[in-house]
Structure 1
């Protein structure tokens, strides 16, 4: 998408930045520039109908978002920023759900969860489901440090006892393996606050998928895909 370019003289000092961006997005002259022929490699071509429709949809959504942003408080804007950071975070380190809840790694490798709007309940303390996810993710990553890299970990079942409200800036997960077998692991996790008070305790059973099972599963998916492709070729 074309960048919005402006000079200091062009922006009214009294006009909020969000209002300026919104005006730019709704400027027909500027929007028309997006629909003109543009360079594509060594060739110039007119924008396709599909691309035009996509641009219009994108601009409409962006315009709606900017309108909503103007009505938000500073706290709410910080929350929007948190969601954007979660969306753009590396999936290899931690999945989106975890990042969105504020879960991350400490310098010592343990996991913690920043408390805020993203994981607060009606009473403004840590929501039970967020605590459950913190324990589940923490145990999973802890197990992965004890098994071959090719293996995978899946939650079979897990229960959690909630002991005290989760308050403060951060909560910390303290996982511990009780039993490590060939195909299953039993592990617990203690969730504590910054004062080392126990907030919740989880106990769960996890399934280990070894290297052979992972490869077999992958091959099964490939074979199913090929079979489906052959069926589609016969139909057409």
Structure 2
């Protein structure tokens, strides 16, 4: 699936199957906050996109998914290097799925997220 925002910040899907995904991102200077640390929104986007990537293969034709909410915990600052996000579907119901993402830099856990996604069939297409 084409993801213009993901491409803008450098997200790459390394693995995607029914119920899991692995995404990577290289931390570059344009992703920093004023304190020269990777902006929290970048890590959030990595988790959010990882969750969508893990859920998307399980959708039936015509179904979509959308974020309901995500709780993000940040454990360590990220100054540079590569981030890896591993996501797992924890529970998938007919209308809602729960997922968890772990964001690591090497062996170090830098953030963790838990999210709920709506699963639905749109009633009409937007122009």
Q: 1:196 aligns with which of 76, 90, 107?
A: 107
Match of 1:119 in 2: 31
- SS of the equivalent of 2:77 reads coil
Match of 2:5 in 1: 97
Unpaired stretches in structure 2, ≥5 consecutive residues? 17-21
- SS of the equivalent of 1:133 reads helix
In structure 2, distance between residues paired with 1:104 and 1:124 = 23
In structure 2, distance between residues paired with 1:176 and 1:141 = 10
Change (3 A) 1:93 1:196: farther
Change (3 A) 1:149 1:142: farther
Instruction: Determine if contact 1:191/1:201 at 8 Å carries over to the other structure.
Output: yes
- 1:127-158: per-residue Cα shift (whole Å, max 9, x none)? 10110011001101110122224311100111
- TM-score (ref. length: structure 1): 0.48
Counting matched residue pairs gives 122
Identify which of structures 1 and 2 has the higher relative contact order when contacts are C-alpha pairs closer than 8 Å and 6+ apart. Answer: 2
Match of 1:206 in 2: 117
- TM-score (ref. length: structure 2): 0.86
CA RMSD for the aligned pairs? 1.8
